[in-house]
Structure 1
Amino acid sequence: MSVDDGFGVHYDTDDDYLDAEVEDDDTAGLLAEEVDSLRPAELPFQVLKEDEIQRRMEDEIGQLSALLCLSNSEASILLRHSNWDAYKLQDSWFTNESELRHRVGLSAMDNPTAAAAADQSDCRICFDSFSPDSFNSAACGHQFCRDCWRQYFATSVNGGPGTLNLRCPEPSCTIAVTEDLINKIADEIDRKRYQKYLLRSYVEENRKLKWCPAAGCEHAVQFAAAAGDPNYDVSCLCSHAFCWNCCEEPHRPVNCITVKNWIAKNDLESANENWKKAYTKPCPNCSKPIEKNAGCMRMKFAAPCNY
């Protein structure tokens, strides 16, 4: 029996109608595959602006803080110690928490020093007397007046990124000075400089991130290629392209070691050429370089020049 589907197409049986539906489904599937093949492949890297780097750093600190029930300042110290590798840090923490605390300068859970130092009224640096509310201390409890703290931190931050590992001013104390205390006592300029050092640490000590090597560029690149993929070519938002592995110009398919050797060879040849230009003169006849290292001004070339 012939069946009209309303669009001028006739089917003799129900089986023919079902076959037509299957063919339509196959065609739709092929079209979908073609569309997927035309989509650009997902890049193995991501370029991050400064605000995105800051947000990622704060997210990682917050996640670890919640997991280990620590303050954000303490979590930040731990992450920097492990080069911002949260998995490595967690392994060390759950293996031996007390040993890790001692290594990074975090106080033990029961710290008798803090209670013993809380009653003092004299600053341990300038030895002036102050009211109790004029003192501040790290987790160790060693009390110092705010002016001495402020000067101590300003001197440290002027010395560079090492201020991220600042310890209590007490000579025998190894307790870390946390970001919470720094934000409480330091002036705005020094706080901003500390944050800048912290952001640099997040990129420069993180094996997944690198700064774009282009002059003046403040973007970072996160690389996450599949295992065994030899392609390290990346391009920044500033249009600078480079090899993420060695930070030289893209050189695929040549490996980084070969490129390094090639650059060293070129540098040596360039140095030789510079030396020749500085200390030799070309022969007027055959143009070979001449070095005068002793004797009179007269010289004669051997055959075949004979000049």
Structure 2
Amino acid sequence: MAEEDNLREKGAALELDSACSEEDEVTLVPMVQSDSEDVDDGDFESEVFSTSEVVQYMMDCIEEVNSVLQLPVTITRMLLQYFQWDEEKLMEKFYDSGDSDELFKAAGIAKPPIVEADFFLSDTTIGVCDICLLTEQMFGWQCGHRFCLGCWDQYLTTKIMEDGKGQSIPCPASACDVLLDDLTVMKLVKDSRVRLRHQHLITNSFVQCNRQLKWCPAPDCNFCIKVSLPDARPVRCQCGHNFCFGCGQSCHEPVSCSLLKKWNRRLQEDCKTATYLMAKTKECPACSVTIEKSGGCNHMVCKNVACNAEFCWVCLGPWSAHAVTSWYHCTRFKEDEVVTEKSASRLVLERYLFFCHRFMNHRQSRKLESRLYAVMRKKKDDLQRENKDVSWVEVQYLTKAVDILLACRTVLMHAYIFAFYVRDKNGQVAIFEENQRDLEAATECLSEYLERDITQENLADLKQKVQDKSRYCETRRTVLLQHVREGVEKDWWEFAE
């Protein structure tokens, strides 16, 4: 049942032949889906297949192998299934074994009959069924076991609908592992819905076994992604959803799938005993008034009229020290500032908390800033209502800016995971930290611009600032990711266990 729960329902039927053509880890770091995903994530070469194109691709693979093996189509499909759709491995075993009978036996496939499956159905006789013990019309499979047509139908329906077995269904006889071919299953099953489910399971199994294919994980999406080289790379589906081809989660560059999984596991374990990490309130460093963060920008202004202190939400330092010209000081953990008398375990904990806090801060900022889409829609409507000369096209830069802002937040979130695990062995980490610091400063600035009120008086000036900062953020995001990718190719990075 668990296997069936994991299967994806896709909307195209597998057309085995003309006779059948009548009758388809939860991430611990929740990501907020943006309204628009037009930001260039450096997608790698990939193709998007509809479910019917997946079926055609599967049939092309079968025909390519069958042009050499010259076997019934469904027998070839079952052999490919046995070898996890590795065509080269199948061909090698088929010809190197010297005994095709042994290969068929190992795969649980009866030796291909000389006659077609229709012969077996027409050769039915009346007899006593070993399952229901009634005298009924019988059908016998190539292994020699015979059962009534009603029991065959009920058995196959249970296997397909309840057990999720479509690609490899054995004979119902006890201790018999001989598999039924697809055409026989289609002819024995009466319900068209069961036949369609059977076709879905075969198609889904093909995708699951093929390292170059992956269903888009977006809800209600029936597209499949095909890549030239299976790797943990960001890909984009035709539905607009971006995801990592390696793990199927939302894009998480620059951190690898394995490190992200490791981080998530630690985060889950630590959050059970450290719920304070998720706290959304802090005290003003000047007057100690409790402040709640309601927006994504980290530039805080104390609302205490007797204070009005401006400070950074992340480190609680004066905001004036975070000016772009002085660089952003919250990205790098400084071990020399930690009291040397502290134990090694305490140092490890403080280092983890440093990166964890910043990771969660960007995650929370991203969640809050995702609401900017609705805010921007209202701002655009207000501007067009107040000024008839402002066209719809002229205010689209606001939505694009939010796209870029969220993309930068996503990269910064995962950049802190990368920074936590990476070890400097050649000076490249310093370059990474500088890129991270620059991107973070620009992102905070863009966030602040987008949270400002837009009026007729500041419209032109704010538009210029938002567009300029958006372009700069996108450039710096690309620079950071390309530097990490280059490091992967050139083996610059070394990570802690």
Provide the TM-score with structure 1 as the length reference. Answer: 0.65
Tell me what 1:148 maps to: 151
Aligned-pair CA distance for 1:75: 1.2
Aligned-pair CA distance for 1:222: 1.1
Does residue 81 (structure 1) correspond to residue 85 (structure 2)? The answer is no
Aligned-pair CA distance for 1:269: 4.5
Unaligned stretches of 5+ residues in structure 2: 1-41, 115-119, 279-287, 291-497
Aligned-pair CA distance for 1:259: 2.8
- CA contact under 8 A between 2:138 and 2:149: conserved in structure 1? yes
Matches of 2:146 and 2:50, distance apart in 1:
40
Does residue 198 (structure 1) correspond to residue 202 (structure 2)? The answer is yes
Q: 3-state SS of the aligned residue for 1:217?
A: coil
CA change 1:152–1:255 in 2 (3 A) is closer
Matches of 2:251 and 2:112, distance apart in 1:
51
Matches of 1:119 and 1:191, distance apart in 2:
25
Does residue 222 (structure 1) correspond to residue 226 (structure 2)? The answer is yes
Tell me how many residue pairs correspond in the alignment: 232
**Where do residues 252-291 of structure 1 align in structure 2 (5 Å cutoff)?**
252-274=253-275
Unaligned stretches of 5+ residues in structure 1: 1-40, 278-284, 288-307
- CA contact under 8 A between 1:157 and 1:194: conserved in structure 2? yes
- CA contact under 8 A between 1:48 and 1:222: conserved in structure 2? yes
Tell me what 1:101 maps to: 104
- CA contact under 8 A between 1:157 and 1:193: conserved in structure 2? yes
Aligned-pair CA distance for 1:149: 0.8
CA change 1:120–1:257 in 2 (3 A) is same
- CA contact under 8 A between 2:212 and 2:229: conserved in structure 1? no
Which deviates more from structure 2 when the two are superposed, residues 141-150 or residues 156-165? 156-165
How big is the alpha-carbon RMSD for the aligned residues of Structure 1 and Structure 2? 3.5
Tell me what 2:52 maps to: 51
Q: 3-state SS of the aligned residue for 2:127?
A: coil
One-letter amino acid of the structure 1 residue matched with residue 105 of structure 2: H
Aligned-pair CA distance for 1:286: 11
Matches of 1:86 and 1:243, distance apart in 2:
26
For residues 49-74 of structure 1, give each alpha carbon's deviation from its aligned partner in whole angstroms, at most 9, with x where no partner exists. 11111111122223333321211111
Does residue 210 (structure 1) correspond to residue 211 (structure 2)? The answer is no
Q: 3-state SS of the aligned residue for 1:248?
A: coil
- CA contact under 8 A between 1:211 and 1:221: conserved in structure 2? yes
Tell me what 1:177 maps to: 180
Aligned-pair CA distance for 1:274: 4.0
CA change 1:225–1:84 in 2 (3 A) is closer
CA change 1:125–1:235 in 2 (3 A) is same
Matches of 1:225 and 1:172, distance apart in 2:
41
Q: 3-state SS of the aligned residue for 2:211?
A: coil
Matches of 2:184 and 2:112, distance apart in 1:
18
Aligned-pair CA distance for 1:213: 1.9
CA change 1:245–1:186 in 2 (3 A) is same
Q: 3-state SS of the aligned residue for 2:171?
A: coil
Match of 2:189 among 163, 186, 191: 186
Q: 3-state SS of the aligned residue for 1:193?
A: helix
Tell me what 1:70 maps to: 71
CA change 1:137–1:271 in 2 (3 A) is same
Matches of 1:65 and 1:88, distance apart in 2:
14
Tell me what 1:137 maps to: 140
Aligned-pair CA distance for 1:193: 0.8
Tell me what 2:327 maps to: none
Aligned-pair CA distance for 1:180: 1.1
Aligned-pair CA distance for 1:184: 0.8
One-letter amino acid of the structure 2 residue matched with residue 173 of structure 1: C
CA change 1:271–1:211 in 2 (3 A) is farther
One-letter amino acid of the structure 2 residue matched with residue 247 of structure 1: G
For residues 138-172 of structure 1, give each alpha carbon's deviation from its aligned partner in whole angstroms, at most 9, with x where no partner exists. 22232222111111111211223334321112224
Aligned-pair CA distance for 1:202: 0.8
- CA contact under 8 A between 2:232 and 2:247: conserved in structure 1? no
For residues 225-277 of structure 1, give each alpha carbon's deviation from its aligned partner in whole angstroms, at most 9, with x where no partner exists. 49xxx871211111111221122333344333333333334434443444899
For residues 31-53 of structure 1, give each alpha carbon's deviation from its aligned partner in whole angstroms, at most 9, with x where no partner exists. xxxxxxxxxx9952111111111
For residues 277-296 of structure 1, give each alpha carbon's deviation from its aligned partner in whole angstroms, at most 9, with x where no partner exists. 9xxxxxxx999xxxxxxxxx
Tell me what 1:294 maps to: none
Q: 3-state SS of the aligned residue for 1:164?
A: coil
- CA contact under 8 A between 1:118 and 1:141: conserved in structure 2? no
Does residue 126 (structure 1) correspond to residue 126 (structure 2)? The answer is no
Matches of 2:124 and 2:218, distance apart in 1:
51
One-letter amino acid of the structure 1 residue matched with residue 161 of structure 2: N
Matches of 2:169 and 2:234, distance apart in 1:
38
Tell me what 1:8 maps to: none
- CA contact under 8 A between 1:120 and 1:143: conserved in structure 2? no
Matches of 2:188 and 2:150, distance apart in 1:
8
Does residue 166 (structure 1) correspond to residue 172 (structure 2)? The answer is no
Matches of 1:263 and 1:69, distance apart in 2:
49
Provide the TM-score with structure 2 as the length reference. Answer: 0.42
CA change 1:255–1:136 in 2 (3 A) is same
Q: 3-state SS of the aligned residue for 1:162?
A: coil
Matches of 2:289 and 2:197, distance apart in 1:
61
The structure with more radius of gyration: 1
Tell me what 1:6 maps to: none
Identical positions, percent = 26
